[in-house]
């Protein structure tokens, strides 16, 4: 159980440091892509570096500016679309946390709130000039999906190829030249049969199509001569996505054999194995099949491109089974790979508490509070963590300042499922049944007339 000493230790935690420039920039660009306008985000994408890595330096430099512009536009639109919120869902930034800073790039963990759900992402940015930043990549932290790689994969297996100029000239230039020759032959054959005064009308009628075919043949020839590479952008779709979605649905509905068959089809079509196994593990866990879920999570970590979120899920399963050392190891591995977030820190605090490590538990709680911005949100988060650890006294201690200031409603606390672990604890019951103070009574009356303030 978290001891009262932890409350005293929390008082020693100072105010959060000023945000780093990369953290502020990641937040600004994330707001742009989820709220709009998307222009700043699109322009900040390091598309040239992404595309050069995808098609090769030689091919990228051999493209014309027109071809590069088409590829840039496709990447910007598809990348931004992967972070777009669902229709009619409000989006916001839940928290940010700088992870690393170096001469080449900075890394920031950022939680994007879509309605009631929060998407954990890792942003890699590099400074360009004195004040400009470029987005090198955004990674969906739990499944371990690089949006840069995912976006580039939608361009097709070979978006840029060295073109066969002879074949292209045969297909694009020769038919136009043949039409031009045909017009000339037709004029030569028809001219003797047309009276001399009217031949000028024949020549005049032949000039326009002749000029058209000559001009288009010249343009096509110049383009072929100036474009050693051809660009072919595939439709925006991942060929394996449908099979994976069907596999997850089958797993969630209790059809494991069909789920595995569809999963194999997704893998054969190019689905990344780690993220795919992670999604199937989540589906099995939702259905209550813990052993299947654990097997998929372990598989998601054993591949070349693992899904870090599997470690957090394994930590949760281990905690529920009472295997505390295993839970501690798994949640530590998760945060080392994906960075901290309020939920992971909450889980870590509960594990540390149950292991009898109060100092480490309070450090996790303090960090979680800082991530959500402190204040009432931080106090509520701490209370939920303490409730999850069955520390009713700690939950009451965290909430009491809020109730005294009228910032928390005991009726809402009674209905909140987060406090079920301490629902029958005498300290919690006594707190809920305390006489409502003047300030809290005012807040309750206000909420009854205008709705909850939380």
Q: How many domains does the chain have?
A: 3
Tell me: do 27 and 153 sit in the same domain.
yes
Of the residues 128, 161, 194, the one at which a domain ends: 161
Tokens 């598309």 belong to residue = 47
pLDDT in tens, 315-374: 999 999 999 999 999 999 999 999 999 999 999 999 999 999 999 999 999 999 999 888
Rounded Cα gap, residues 63 and 142, in angstroms: 36
pLDDT in tens, 142-188: 999 999 999 998 898 889 888 766 676 667 767 887 777 777 787 77
Give the closest residue to 126 by CA, choosing from 51, 50, 17: 50
Give the domain range for residue 219. 164-226
Tell me: do 105 and 220 sit in the same domain.
no
> Which range (218-222, 271-275, 279-283) has the least confidence?
218-222
Q: Considering the entire predicted model, what is its pTM?
A: 0.77
pLDDT in tens, 413-453: 888 998 999 999 999 999 988 876 544 444 444 444 333 33
Rounded Cα gap, residues 50 and 66, in angstroms: 17
Tell me: do 27 and 154 sit in the same domain.
yes
Tell me: do 170 and 155 sit in the same domain.
no
How far, in Å, are 180, 213, 215, 221, 251 from residue 218 at the CA level? 12, 8, 5, 5, 59
How far, in Å, are 21, 112, 420 from residue 77 at the CA level? 26, 19, 45
If DSSP codes are grouped into helix, strand and coil, which group holds residue 54? helix
Q: Is the dihedral of CA 262, 264, 269, 272 positive or negative?
A: positive
445, two tokens: 């009356």
DSSP 186-247: HHHHHGGGS-GGGHHHHHHHHHHHHHHHHHHHHHHHHHHHH-SEEE-PPPS--TTHHHHHHH
Is the pLDDT assigned to residue 44 strictly greater than 80?
Answer: yes
pLDDT in tens, 188-205: 777 777 787 777 777 777
Tell me: do 186 and 141 sit in the same domain.
no
If DSSP codes are grouped into helix, strand and coil, which group holds residue 133? strand
Tell me: do 84 and 187 sit in the same domain.
no
The end-to-end CA distance of the chain, in Å, is 28
Q: What pLDDT does residue 165 have?
A: 62
Of the residues 226, 254, 269, the one at which a domain ends: 226
CATH number of the domain where residue 124 is located? 3.10.450
Rounded Cα gap, residues 75 and 47, in angstroms: 7
Beta partners for 160?
Answer: 231
Quickly count helices (H) and strands (E) in the chain. 23, 7
Question: DSSP character for 64?
Answer: -
218, two tokens: 């010249």
Question: DSSP character for 45?
Answer: B
CB 188 within 8 A of CB 203: no
pLDDT-derived band at 52, boundaries 50, 70, 90: very high
How far, in Å, are 24, 28, 92, 218, 289 from residue 110 at the CA level? 11, 11, 11, 53, 31
The answer as to whether 172 is a domain residue is yes
């Amino acid at each position: 159980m978290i001891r009262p000493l932890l409350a005293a230790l929390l008082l020693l935690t100072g105010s959060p440091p000023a945000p780093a420039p990369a953290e502020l920039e990641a937040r600004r660009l994330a707001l742009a892509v989820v709220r709009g306008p998307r222009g700043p985000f699109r322009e900040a994408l390091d598309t040239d570096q992404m595309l050069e890595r995808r098609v090769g330096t030689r091919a990228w430099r051999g493209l014309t500016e027109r071809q590069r512009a088409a590829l840039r536009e496709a990447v910007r639109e598809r990348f931004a679309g992967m972070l777009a919120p669902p229709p009619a869902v409000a989006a916001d930034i839940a928290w940010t946390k700088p992870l690393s800073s170096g001469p080449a790039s900075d890394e920031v963990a950022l939680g994007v709130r879509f309605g009631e759900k929060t998407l954990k992402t890792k942003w890699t940015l590099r400074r360009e000039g004195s004040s400009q930043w470029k987005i090198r990549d955004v990674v969906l932290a739990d499944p371990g999906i690089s949006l840069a790689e995912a976006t580039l994969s939608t361009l097709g297996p070979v978006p840029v190829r060295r073109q066969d100029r002879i074949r292209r000239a045969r297909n694009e230039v020769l038919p136009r030249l043949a039409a031009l020759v045909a017009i000339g032959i037709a004029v030569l054959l028809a001219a003797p049969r047309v009276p001399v005064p009217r031949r000028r009308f024949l020549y005049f009628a032949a000039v326009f199509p002749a000029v058209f075919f000559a001009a288009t043949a010249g343009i096509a020839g110049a383009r072929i001569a100036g474009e050693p590479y051809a660009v072919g952008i595939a439709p925006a779709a991942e060929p394996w996505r449908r099979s994976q979605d069907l596999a997850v649905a089958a797993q969630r509905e209790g059809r494991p054999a069909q789920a595995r068959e569809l999963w194999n089809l997704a893998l054969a079509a190019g689905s990344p194995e780690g993220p795919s196994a992670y999604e199937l593990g989540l589906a099995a866990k939702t259905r209550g099949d813990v052993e299947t879920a654990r097997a998929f999570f372990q598989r998601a970590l054993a591949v070349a491109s693992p899904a870090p979120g599997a470690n957090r899920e394994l930590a949760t399963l281990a905690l529920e089974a009472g295997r505390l050392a295993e839970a501690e190891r798994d949640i530590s591995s998760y945060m080392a790979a994906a960075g901290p977030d309020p939920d992971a820190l909450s889980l870590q605090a509960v594990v540390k508490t149950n292991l009898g490590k109060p100092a480490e538990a309070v450090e996790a709680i303090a960090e979680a509070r800082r991530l959500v911005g402190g204040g009432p949100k931080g106090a509520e988060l701490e209370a939920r963590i303490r409730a999850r650890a069955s520390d009713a006294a700690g939950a009451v201690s965290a909430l009491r300042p809020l109730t005294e200031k009228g910032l928390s409603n005991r009726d809402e606390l009674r209905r909140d499922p987060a406090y079920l672990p301490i629902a029958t604890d005498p300290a919690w019951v006594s707190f809920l049944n305390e006489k409502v103070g003047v300030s809290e009574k005012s807040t309750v009356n206000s909420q009854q007339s205008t709705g909850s303030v939380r």
